[in-house]
Amino acid sequence: MLKLEGIKKVYRTEFIETHALVELNLEVEEGEFLAVMGPSGSGKSTFLNVVGLLDQFDGGTYLFDGMDVSRASDHQRSKLRNEKIGFIFQSFNLIPDLNVFDNIDIPLRYRRMRASERRTRIESALETVGLSGRKKHYPSQLSGGQQQRVAIARAIAGQPKMLLADEPTGNLDTVMARQIMDLLELINQNGTTIIMVTHDPALAQRAHKQIHLLDGRVVTVDQGARIQAAQAVGGA
């Protein structure tokens, strides 16, 4: 699904070079749920931007779904990002002047889908996140948890192969955070690969695997609680 080898990313100003990613190596299998942890400044956001094709990298090789992204043109990268990658952000990033249906519709319009297909996808996504009755509501009429569900619906309506979640529960209380994690697990069980950045060890434990970044490198890889539990049951 995804393979990074020797990825480097350097941010340069007139006087300073900041090495955000340093010889980063990682493989993510199709259908995997990966949690990414690390202190502030460890390279988590840069990692997510590179994986999501939002940012170029300065060295190394990135294979995504069989394509060598390091050799791809801007058009090819945009097409991959639009058709195969979904994004969920901590701040929801909903357009306040548009209702729920139209917020989800916008990315699909960029793909020039027919109106009937867009409608089917939107209604299916809203049903998945439990908001079928809220499609005419505006973001200001929704709770934080509901807004994040809309953001998830917007991401999955495009039927991506990979979903990137940047602190998806960061602005939510404990109960809502647990509900969002339940939803992400459901989406993952339906076959979507998920890479999630989080500061919460309890949430990270619900992933298949955790990696810890430090100074732009992967320093540890841990199996999540779900894998450990499955192995324990199999061993019994």
Q: How many CB atoms lie within 10 A of CB 29?
A: 12
Say how far apart CA 144 and CA 172 lie, in whole Å.
6
Query: Domain 31-48+77-235 is in which class?
Result: alpha beta
Which pLDDT does position 225 carry in this prediction?
52
Confidence (pLDDT) at 112 = 87
pLDDT for res 226: 55
Domain ranges for the chain: 31-48+77-235
From CA 43, how far away is CA 38, in angstroms rounded? 8
Other CB atoms within 10 Å distance of the CB of residue 223: 14
Sign of CA dihedral 221, 169, 225, 182: negative
Six token digits for residue 140: 């200001």
Distance CA 61, CA 169 (A): 31
Instruction: Give me the percent of the chain exceeding a pLDDT of 90.
Output: 75
**Cβ contact 168:204 at 8 Å:** no
User: Is pLDDT at 231 greater than 90 in this prediction?
Assistant: no
In order of 25, 176, 236, the CA distances from 211 in angstroms are: 11, 24, 27
Lowest mean pLDDT among 67-71, 96-100, 210-214, 220-224: 220-224
pLDDT digits (tens, 9 = 90+) for 7-49: 999 999 888 999 999 999 999 999 999 999 999 989 999 999 9
- What is the edge-to-edge ordering of all strands in the sheet holding 217-223? 85-89, 162-166, 193-197, 33-37, 209-214, 217-223
Kindly report the average pLDDT of the chain as a whole number.
Answer: 91
Identity (one letter) of the amino acid at 40?
S
SS3 85: strand
pLDDT interval class at 90 (50, 70, 90): confident
Inform me whether the pLDDT recorded for 6 exceeds 80: yes
Instruction: Enumerate residues 6+ apart whose C-beta is below 8 A from 8.
Output: 19, 21, 22, 23, 24, 57, 58, 59, 60
Whole-number Å distance between alpha carbons of 86 and 228: 28
| pLDDT at 229 exceeding the cut of 50 | no
Predicted confidence band of residue 220 (pLDDT cuts 50, 70, 90): confident
